[in-house]
Structure 1
Amino acid sequence: MSTAVLENKPTVPEEVPTFTATLIIRRFDPEVDAEPRWEDFTVVMQGTDRVLDALHKIKWEQDASLTFRRSCAHGVCGSDAMRINGRNRLACKTLLKDLDLSKPVYVEAIKGLPLEKDLIVNMDPFFESFKEVQPFLIASSKPEKERLQSPVERARFDDTTKCILCAACTSSCPVFWTDGQYFGPAAIVNAHRFIFDSRDEGASVRLDILNDKEGVWRCRTTFNCTDACPRGIQVTQAIAEVKAAVLRGTP
């Protein structure tokens, strides 16, 4: 009997389709520029590439001075929030192919916070507001084991546990742009997370803080924050629930 011999033929990888994208980036170098300026770049990208990949390619291959924040690159750390075509997004979650590439892609820093360089803003005011609402568990008891909570009690504040502090919601808020004292949506969301936590005893303290003139009553319910949130948090609803709790004086 003859034995069939299988030939080991090398497989030729399929050519990955590419496309050309033009990014117009708002640049600012405080050591050189008096005002921000727009600069355009053209890059060849692949179908699964995101805006963050395009920024990396520009930085690595065209202009090493391009400055932006990024860390995990998977939509978890919140470092790379920026305005893309006029909307707050995470660069690492925004696929280029989902944008209209027949037109340039405009990229700039988020609004309402001091611009430091290119796509980087000073986040200190944002985190100061976050810290003011006391975003931690306040409890007088010290149980020997974990504090128990029912699934229903946990579900009450589940949505607002998803916040990654990217500032996309806060920096999309027109009130925050014009009033640097407003706590902003992200701070209120993180207050909500503890106000409605059955294990927490500091709700009244946080409600008093947010009943300030720069607290929840500055919200104009434009829904910009909800639209901007990359985690899908119902931010406007959370703010409305905190307003109702302030009026009741209790969660």
Structure 2
Amino acid sequence: MATPTLEKTDEAPSAADHLVTVTFRIRRFNPEEGPEAVWQDFELRIDPKERVLDALHQIKWELDGTLTFRRSCAHGICGSDAMRINGRNRLACKTLIKDIADLSDGQATKPITVEPIKGMTVLKDLIVDMEPFFQAYRDVMPFLITEGNEPTRERLQSAADRERFDDTTKCILCAACTSSCPVFWNDGQYFGPAAIVNAHRFIFDSRDEGGEQRLEILNDRDGVWRCRTTFNCTDACPRGIEVTKAIQEVKKALITRRF
């Protein structure tokens, strides 16, 4: 397949001195064209301080409008643009080209590879079916559960109690952790790290009264005990959540019933 090339010829040479030549090797899949995915190269002249998402925009807007990927806020909050970049799960909107390209004499010596996250059905190009992921999230009841009458005032919580689950409130449901997990790759029935992280957020919330219910859900054969502590999830999390630590705390709560 020919390599489309984008060069901004209307710029003065001095204005383009900071640009570098980078080849993006993207894994393409179109179910209407065939059952197999193919790799396609796109060569760009681009500022190395730009993000991978900016490069994907250039390709889609100026080279190949059929390229398909998800993105929304473009600022690392929505989690929409999680993908495998150079073999690692990352958010395209937070990954700078200069941080992942081997640059020499104004060009990258190797292509930057971009492909969909693993363990989920690819719908087209970089888009995967997220429904199983979100079903696991819904299954752990990610909402506050209380009993008795509705309070007449705000449910108060100390700073120490709030800090207990602060780390797991940072999850943006990008699926980078879950799709980096070897257990999830081999068995899509596993709840996965993200679901467990979001269960942790409520299990250890002092205002919540549904901890026992969530623990029983995660005590299932496809629950928390499937974790093999490879730390892939922690390494993949773009928000810096200590995912493996949260999973171990849920395991401990299941054994001790103290949380």
Which amino acid in the other structure matches residue 58 of structure 1? I
1:125 aligns to what? 132
1:192 equivalent in alignment to 2:193: no
41-50 vs 240-249, which deviates more?
41-50
Report the Cα distance in structure 2 between the residues aligned to 1:208 and 1:140, rounded to whole angstroms.
Answer: 18
Gaps of 5+ in 2: 1-13, 103-108
CA deviation vs aligned residue, 1:202-223 (integer Å, no higher than 9, x gap): 0000000001111010000000
2:191 aligns to what? 183
Which amino acid in the other structure matches residue 99 of structure 1? I
142-151 vs 176-185, which deviates more?
142-151
1:229 aligns to what? 237
Contact 1:204 1:250 in 2 (8 A): no
Q: After TM superposition, list the pairs within 5 Å mapping 1:91-170 onto structure 2.
A: 91-101=92-102, 102-141=109-148, 142-170=150-178
2:51 aligns to what? 50
Superposed CA RMSD: 1.2
Aligned-partner SS, 1:233: coil
Report the Cα distance in structure 2 between the residues aligned to 1:178 and 1:216, rounded to whole angstroms.
Answer: 15
Which amino acid in the other structure matches residue 108 of structure 1? E
CA deviation vs aligned residue, 1:170-189 (integer Å, no higher than 9, x gap): 00000000001000000000
1:39 aligns to what? 40
Report the Cα distance in structure 2 between the residues aligned to 1:14 and 1:89, rounded to whole angstroms.
Answer: 31
1:26 aligns to what? 27
CA deviation vs aligned residue, 1:192-249 (integer Å, no higher than 9, x gap): 0000000000000000000111101000000000000000000000000000000012
Report the Cα distance in structure 2 between the residues aligned to 1:60 and 1:100, rounded to whole angstroms.
Answer: 22
Report the Cα distance in structure 2 between the residues aligned to 1:47 and 1:227, rounded to whole angstroms.
Answer: 24
Report the Cα distance in structure 2 between the residues aligned to 1:47 and 1:145, rounded to whole angstroms.
Answer: 52
Q: After TM superposition, list the pairs within 5 Å mapping 1:205-216 onto structure 2.
A: 205-216=213-224
Scaled by the length of structure 2, the TM-score of the pair is 0.90
Contact 1:203 1:250 in 2 (8 A): no
Q: Structure 1 residue 17: deviation in Å?
A: 1.1
Report the Cα distance in structure 2 between the residues aligned to 1:14 and 1:129, rounded to whole angstroms.
Answer: 50
Question: Aligned residue pairs: how many?
Answer: 239
Q: For the structure 1 residues 14 and 108, does the alpha-carbon distance in structure 2 shift closer, same or farther, using more than 3 Å as the test?
A: closer
Report the Cα distance in structure 1 between the residues aligned to 2:237 and 2:92, rounded to whole angstroms.
Answer: 13
Report the Cα distance in structure 1 between the residues aligned to 2:16 and 2:35, rounded to whole angstroms.
Answer: 45
| Percent sequence identity over aligned pairs | 68
Contact 1:58 1:64 in 2 (8 A): yes
Contact 1:16 1:46 in 2 (8 A): no
